[in-house]
Each structure stands twice: as structure tokens, then as C-alpha cells.
């Protein structure tokens, strides 16, 4: 028969494991990927949050977060001979790995207008 002390030790160990498991789940990185495309392709993509150059379309952009809350992004699209466009979108942070997120990118397509 188990003593009260043995039962208490088991509960304490179980409690510690549950707390550690909860903390590990809270710190898990989440990822979202957007596939930015323009018509025509070849536009420069600039993140207006920090003015960083993300690349040229078509482009996969990865966002990382410490939680699964959607991220709001605003980018500017520039291409010689076309009017600059600014577009905003929400990035869903639903993947636990970058590889999974890349397999299911969210599409963002913008048609650029020619300059007169």
C-alpha cells in the first residue's frame, strides 16, 4: 500500500510535468508564408513596417511568431514603367514548421497598372 507521502510525491511530480509541458507549448514558434505575385512579374517587394527589401515577385515570404495570432503586413510593390501599389494582408500563423508553411502559402496577387 502506498503511503500518503508517496502519493503526495507522485502528485508533485505530475504537477511539475504538466507545468513544464504547458510552458513548452506556449513557446512554440508558429509560421505563416505568403506567396506574393504581381501581374506582370518582376516587381520589387518592400515591407513598409521596416522598409526592408523582401525580394522580387514571384516571392515566398515567411513570417515567424511566438503565438498563432495572425500578423498584419503592408508591402509596397514597385516595377519600372508601372504605378507603385501598396497592399495589406493578414498572415495566418498556423504552421509549426517553416517547411509546412512553405507547402501551403497564402496567395497575394496584385495587378500593376502601366504608367501613362
Quote the pTM value: 0.74
pLDDT at 1 over 90: no
CB 85: neighbour CB atoms within 10 A? 16
CA 90/CA 71 separation, integer angstroms? 5
* Helix%, strand%, coil% for the chain, nearest 5: 25, 45, 30
Q: How many domains is the chain partitioned into structurally?
A: 1
In a domain? residue 53 = yes
pLDDT at 83 over 80: yes
- Tell me the residue range of the domain where 61 lies: 28-111
In a domain? residue 12 = no
In a domain? residue 1 = no
In a domain? residue 57 = yes
Per-residue pLDDT band for 116 (boundaries 50, 70, 90) equals confident
In a domain? residue 3 = no
Q: How far is CA 68 from the centre of its chain?
A: 9
pLDDT at 25 over 70: no
Amino acid at each position: 500500500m502506498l503511503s500518503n507521502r508517496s502519493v503526495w510525491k507522485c502528485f508533485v511530480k505530475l504537477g511539475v510535468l504538466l507545468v513544464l509541458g504547458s510552458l513548452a507549448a506556449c513557446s512554440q514558434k508558429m509560421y505563416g508564408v505568403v506567396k506574393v505575385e504581381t501581374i506582370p512579374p518582376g516587381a520589387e517587394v518592400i515591407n513598409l513596417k521596416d522598409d526592408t527589401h523582401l525580394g522580387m515577385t514571384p516571392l515566398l515570404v515567411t513570417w515567424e511568431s511566438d503565438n498563432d495570432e495572425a500578423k498584419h503586413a503592408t508591402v509596397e510593390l514597385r516595377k519600372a514603367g508601372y504605378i507603385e501599389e501598396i497592399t495589406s494582408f493578414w498572415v495566418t500563423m498556423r504552421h509549426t514548421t517553416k517547411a509546412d508553411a512553405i507547402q501551403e502559402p497564402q496567395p497575394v496577387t496584385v495587378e500593376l497598372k502601366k504608367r501613362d
